[in-house]
Structure 1
Amino acid sequence: MLRARIYLLFFVPFTLMCSAMAVCGTFFDATGAFAHKCARFWSRWGLFFAGIKVRVDGVEKIPTDGPVIYMGNHQGNFDILALSLAIPRRFSWIAKEELFRVPLFGSAMHRAGYIPLDRSDGRRALKSMNAAAARIRSGSSVVVFPEGTRTADGNLLPFKRGGFLLAVKAGVPIVPFTINGSMRINPRNRLELYPGILSITFAEPVTTATYNGKEHPELLEQVRNAIAAGLE
């Protein structure tokens, strides 16, 4: 617990500094490229001072052109930092709309090109889903955690359908990934931090080109199986 408290004394102001850099950077770089570099800088040093090493496998399976949706399990708070370094191509995050209201941090997310999803009611959810699909079709790759929250025991939680509907609407491949080790490093809802290795394994892309309509349980199952196959 002491290690975690000391780390937070560094990480919180460091996060605010990187967010401020990202926001300021967008005034001379409206593409979001500088903000993405700030995110990678934040991730690299955030992991370093936490004593976390990231091991990546299967990166050669990621398509080298065209947008994709990265989809995988969510074990802990350091998943986001690790993915920022593990994914070789620039990407955006899909996040709940409430996070974009956080002072400074939310502004940095907006300016970096991250995509909010509003799930407050059906009509607004559909509108934000269509807007997100259009952004992806125009060239933005994104990351989605289909479980919607972190696991408490390492097992996969039920998958939400939103990410799969988005993939079908956008007509882009899904690249499954599996995270291992994150939960041991920082258990959910506990102020503990242990140095260790966080591994990310990418699986073969899953095409969505043959799907249309709204319900595709077989697509969800195919992606879930690919993610589950990489769990330790």
Structure 2
Amino acid sequence: MSIIQFTRGLLAYLTIPPLTAAVCLSAIADVHWFRKSKAKAQIFPRTWGKLLCRIANIRVRVEGKENLDPAKPYIFIGNHASMADIMSFSGYISHDYRWIAKKELFAIPIFGSGMRAVDFISIDRSRGREAVKSLNDAAKRISGGASVILFPEGTRSADGRLRPFKTGAIMLALKAGVDVVPVGFNGTHQALPKGELLARGGDVVLRIGKPIPTKDFKAKDKQMLAGILHQKVAELLDECHLPLPEPENSPTASTEASAETEG
């Protein structure tokens, strides 16, 4: 990493706390005392993402925006390769959407109030009745017109390659009943790898696929829909983000070979 990029990465890292606080306070003031519109207040998280990308020298390009209808709610489903996913999507996707965050984050002073001000959606990730209720509440918010972005891998990929999708996010899509849009995050892992604090910078491409209707899928089809979405996201990724092929002697490869022989 060059001295210039090291400086920019350090500056971006040090900027996150004060910028986040400033954005949250601005959103709170705007929603309560000025324009009083949560939709218009989305300018604040967008400004947060765009500024951090620019400071860190992360150059973002979006492909496939023509696939979206500005008037429709969607669930965006993407690979999760880096914290730069959040920065780039926040800053450069203009479609009206909300982030989903675990309920504990809403208890953080200023940050939680800021998330409520811009209408972020709370999810209870514990088990039991409250978790089911929060999932149902989130589904109602989405079906009522709130687009969201989800990362079904559950966590950031350590090597930037696409991992299997968990079905929790898929169940939310099925409950909401809105179209699902695959998104490929390319270059974000290289720009800010998992485990590193300072951004390396570079080019990032967000590829937006065509919406996939969910109305014909039922709860029992969640694994099938997860597989379809996984494939659609993979089609939007550069080769360096694709899953590595299964070794020939792996259990999965052996099963597939047996199936081909039997067929």
Q: Which has the higher contact order (CA 8 A, sep 6+)?
A: 1
Instruction: Give a deviation string over 1:70-103, Cα, whole Å, max 9, x none.
Output: 1101111121121123323211011222222222
Q: Distance in 1 between matches of 2:30 and 2:218?
A: 40
The answer to whether the 8 A contact 1:165-1:214 is kept is: no
Instruction: Give a deviation string over 1:172-195, Cα, whole Å, max 9, x none.
Output: 000000001111111111223212
Structure 2 equivalent of residue 160 of structure 1: 166
Instruction: Give a deviation string over 1:126-172, Cα, whole Å, max 9, x none.
Output: 10011001111111111111111111011222212121111111110
Structure 2 equivalent of residue 5 of structure 1: 10
The answer to whether the 8 A contact 2:48-2:91 is kept is: no
The answer to whether the 8 A contact 1:23-1:108 is kept is: yes
The alignment status of 1:19 with 2:24, answered yes or no, reads yes
Letter in 1 for 2:73: P
The answer to whether the 8 A contact 1:56-1:199 is kept is: yes
**Percent of aligned pairs with the same amino acid:** 38
Letter in 1 for 2:16: F
The answer to whether the 8 A contact 1:96-1:117 is kept is: yes
Q: Distance in 2 between matches of 1:103 and 1:22?
A: 14
Following superposition of structure 1 onto structure 2, how do residues 117-156 of structure 1 map, counting pairs within 5 Å?
117-156=123-162
Structure 1 equivalent of residue 232 of structure 2: 226
Following superposition of structure 1 onto structure 2, how do residues 44-123 of structure 1 map, counting pairs within 5 Å?
44-123=50-129
Is the radius of gyration larger for structure 1 or structure 2? Answer: 2
SS of 2:219's equivalent in the other structure is: coil
Q: Distance in 1 between matches of 2:191 and 2:157?
A: 13
Deviation at 1:210, TM superposition (A): 0.4
Deviation at 1:215, TM superposition (A): 4.3
Q: Distance in 2 between matches of 1:35 and 1:81?
A: 17
Q: Indicate how the Cα distance of structure 1 residues 231 and 212 shifts in structure 2: closer, same or farther if over 3 A, else same.
A: same
Structure 1 equivalent of residue 194 of structure 2: 188
Root-mean-square deviation (CA), in Å? 1.6
Instruction: Give a deviation string over 1:3-28, Cα, whole Å, max 9, x none.
Output: 33333223321221111111111103
Deviation at 1:201, TM superposition (A): 0.2
Letter in 2 for 1:63: D
Could you list the runs of 5+ residues in structure 2 that have no partner in the other structure? 239-263
Deviation at 1:30, TM superposition (A): 4.2
Q: Distance in 2 between matches of 1:101 and 1:79?
A: 24
**Structure 1 stretches of at least 4 aligned residues deviating more than 6 Å after TM superposition:** none
Structure 1 equivalent of residue 253 of structure 2: none
The answer to whether the 8 A contact 2:13-2:197 is kept is: no
The answer to whether the 8 A contact 1:186-1:192 is kept is: yes
Letter in 2 for 1:83: F
- Among 38, 42, 50, the residue aligned to 2:44: 38
Equivalent residues, number: 232
The answer to whether the 8 A contact 2:184-2:208 is kept is: yes
TM-score where L is the length of structure 2: 0.83
Could you list the runs of 5+ residues in structure 1 that have no partner in the other structure? none
- Among 194, 211, 216, the residue aligned to 2:217: 211
